[in-house]
Structure 1
Amino acid sequence: MSTPRKVLVIGGGAAGSAVTILLRRAGLAVDLVEARSDWNATAGSGITLQGNALRVLRELGVWDEVEAAGFGFGSVGITAPDGTVLHVQEDLRTGGDDLPATVGMQRPRLQRILIDAVRASGASVRLGTTAVIVDQDADGVSVRFDEVSAGGSDSSSDNGSAHGSDASADAERRYDLVIAADGLGSATRAAIGIADRPEPTGMAIWRIAAPRPAGLTRTDLAYGGPAYIAGYCPTGEDTLYAYVVEANRDRALIPAGSHADEMRRLACAYGGFWPEITEHITDPAQVNHTWFERLLVEGSWHRGRVVLVGDAAHCCPPTLAQGAALSLEDAWVLTQLLTGSGPWDDTLFQAYYERRIARVRPVVEASVQLGQWQLDGVRDADVPGLMARTMTMLRELP
């Protein structure tokens, strides 16, 4: 009986969790290593999942849990700053007619669903641990593990078994393949000689989770006022996340203790449901402030037997809500290729890149363009046309 190929996945976010689940289902031995000891289980406010993301979540076997935990809807409203609804656009069902166009949900809830699925897959998990590429050749990669916090092994009795994880064992291991899913600031990407780095687009976003007012059943976007965009998305029976987008400001000049005041100052200028939402913007620890950034690694997403997925390879502003969807698609496509009949070589990894870049590049470029039109004050921009063309493309299978 042959020994199954062994894969290391670095990073336990959406892309890393998804590729782990899919490879385990195909019978491969998979170790997942995550630098954060809490496995990102409490990070973030909310997330908007378009149909093409839901399609992959269904392939992972977690669609029922996502559907139950989230809030599905099928349209987006465009409002004036005072809350007057100017237009309601039906969303395209990019995952197919048997899935909702969009599901909003609390980001920690999605992460918990993926964590549970990784555990159930039988993958070995190490938390609070980083992985460093030592060397590689045509047959595999040698990796060193470094503990970054106590309790790195996911083996506590209240969290379930790590299915064979032994973080205290050998510090260096050999793998047939390493999949770098370690996010936008990927240390693995830099370590294998890919010099691309994320770049700011000129916008920043304030986000918060809040109670959902009665009658709020879809995403609404207000353009104009003191922010470029003020929007919200329902995430459950009684929850939402709200956000306002403005120009970049030097984060060093915005004390963390003022985050609620800063977001509330922007949000209080908007009408409709916003006064009810703004009442809950009080705790600066619950307000998240980040810049919009873009990244698109060109040429290839691998070096030898180390391959990038998700934000480690690409990211875009959330103007089309496609970040998580593209990352999940990466995991799905790469797994299809790895579990086919071809050898794990440059030809296979380049095929992965070429298949993904043709789909990812238009989304990144469109997402950046939507923001740039606002930064430039372009009043006659074909926003509906660009969005429609991009989302129609995403309806096709990746």
Structure 2
Amino acid sequence: MLKGRKVTVLGAGVAGLSVARALALRGAEVTVLEQAPEIREVGAGLQISPNGARVMSALGLGSALGREGLRAEAVELRDGESGAVVLRMDLARTGGDFLFLHRADLIDVLLEGAREAGATIRLLKQVDEVRLGAHPPRLVTALGEELEAEILIGADGLHSKVRTALNGTVAPFFTHQVAWRATLPAEPGIAPVAQVFMGPGRHLVTYPLRGGRLRNIVAVEERRRWAEESWSLTDDPLALRIAFEDFVPEVRRWLDRIERPNLWGLFRHPVAPRWHGHGAAILGDAAHPTLPFLAQGANMALEDAWVLAEALDAGAEVDSAFAAYQRSREVRCRRIVDAANSNARNYHLSGLRRDVAHLGLRALGKFAPDRVLGRFEWLYGHDVVGGAGK
């Protein structure tokens, strides 16, 4: 049982704030440590699919999610050079909620939810080292302060100190892909549709945010040159425009309006072999970083948060609960990571392979649209709250 247990959560992103609320609602005394001076999420758009929306509803945040998000109608795969629709997937056929959100809006919902449930948020707590062993988890801050945790949850992202303490350091692999991201004021009447414009060695994803007031853009290009793994670099907009200069005019018009695109290199990190030990566990990107080609990073974090809180509340000894959590989550998370890797390759086909693939997708969309969406039932139909699809 969690009632009265003291839990320290490292990191106030999607994973950290959602697990903080899930634990606090079950009676834990939760403290979230965040290195930033304020909770201010960088980034732009994200998608919450039915598997993540179910967790938000179970956390009592479904109404807030609905207010902040924009309900998605469809996903369209389009040829970047001609603009022709290759495949349209009607999301209403799934019977679940798909929403487009600005990442900052999701963070605001989760932050308010964590505080409302009783979690304490402590800012300016940069943790430089996590020590695990035959003692309670210990955290050493940048100021030399040493903190001890009864239970430690590492929600500290790609460069997780808790993951390092559990697994050591492993160098990520550069995928030879870079991504630009930006938001623009949207044109009137923008449709609530995610569009993927595909071309040889590159693709661009766009969808509306904030009630249709903004257009979110993520553009990906294959390149040999390394780019830093960061969310805060900016790039010359001319480089972005040149990369997509042979795409349809509507895409070029959007890119012409971007003045300071953010740029980051896409790196493939292995799923951590060890998610727990010595009173500590990891979740979200700390456990299973994923490329953004399946729009599941936030959804995986939400699922993790629910399963981890349930496991700890089941009454088992802490490390046994953590072991049950990893058993429940690891196979699914590895499958999602692998599927995201495959999507990147499929978007970037060229030549005859591209022609054949697009022809097959058009045929499926025309003659068997339910079969297309059925291929994702394992993903969107999964329900960590009610048990369906496990």
Q: TM-score, normalised by structure 1?
A: 0.82
> Within 5 A, what are the aligned runs for 1:79-98?
79-81=78-80, 82-91=82-91, 97=95
Residue aligning to 2:368? none
Residue aligning to 1:37? 37
Which residue of 343, 355, 370 corresponds with 2:343?
A: 370
Q: Is the 8 A contact 2:176 2:226 kept in 1?
A: no
1:242-288 alpha-carbon deviations (Å, 9 max, x no partner): 12111143237xx9664322223334533364244224201x2xx22
* Whole-angstrom distance in 2 between the partners of 1:213 and 1:371: 28
1:357-385 alpha-carbon deviations (Å, 9 max, x no partner): 12111111111122234567553568888
Describe the shift of the 1:376–1:196 C-alpha distance in structure 2 as closer, same or farther (beyond 3 A): farther
Describe the shift of the 1:329–1:266 C-alpha distance in structure 2 as closer, same or farther (beyond 3 A): same
- Give the CA RMSD over aligned residues: 2.8
* Whole-angstrom distance in 1 between the partners of 2:324 and 2:345: 32
Number of residue pairs aligned between Structure 1 and Structure 2: 362
> After the TM superposition, which of the residue ranges 243-252 and 42-51 deviates more from structure 2?
243-252
* Whole-angstrom distance in 1 between the partners of 2:298 and 2:4: 29
> Within 5 A, what are the aligned runs for 1:83-162?
83-91=83-91, 97=95, 99-100=96-97, 102-131=98-127, 132-137=129-134, 140-147=136-143
1:392 corresponds to which letter in structure 2?
A: W
Describe the shift of the 1:13–1:258 C-alpha distance in structure 2 as closer, same or farther (beyond 3 A): closer
Q: Is the 8 A contact 2:185 2:214 kept in 1?
A: yes
* Whole-angstrom distance in 2 between the partners of 1:257 and 1:216: 27
Q: Is the 8 A contact 2:163 2:286 kept in 1?
A: yes
Q: Is the 8 A contact 2:51 2:379 kept in 1?
A: no
* Whole-angstrom distance in 1 between the partners of 2:70 and 2:196: 17
1:309-345 alpha-carbon deviations (Å, 9 max, x no partner): 0000112211111111111111110001011121212
Residue aligning to 1:159? none
Shift of 1:291: 2.3
* Whole-angstrom distance in 2 between the partners of 1:37 and 1:316: 27
1:75 corresponds to which letter in structure 2?
A: A
* Whole-angstrom distance in 2 between the partners of 1:58 and 1:29: 22
Shift of 1:351: 1.5
Unaligned runs of 5+ in 1: 149-170
* Whole-angstrom distance in 1 between the partners of 2:157 and 2:89: 32
What is the DSSP-based 3-state SS (H/G/I as helix, E as strand, rest coil) of the residue aligned with 1:315? coil
Q: Is the 8 A contact 1:296 1:361 kept in 2?
A: no
Unaligned runs of 5+ in 2: 365-370, 385-390
Q: Is the 8 A contact 1:192 1:303 kept in 2?
A: yes
> Within 5 A, what are the aligned runs for 1:44-55?
44-55=43-54
Identity within the alignment, %: 25
1:359 corresponds to which letter in structure 2?
A: R
* Whole-angstrom distance in 1 between the partners of 2:374 and 2:30: 39
Shift of 1:391: 4.3
1:320 corresponds to which letter in structure 2?
A: L
Shift of 1:196: 4.0
* Whole-angstrom distance in 2 between the partners of 1:257 and 1:204: 12
2:138 corresponds to which letter in structure 1?
A: S
Residue aligning to 2:75? 76
Q: Does 1:360 align with 2:336?
A: no
Q: Does 1:192 align with 2:152?
A: no
Residue aligning to 2:226? 250
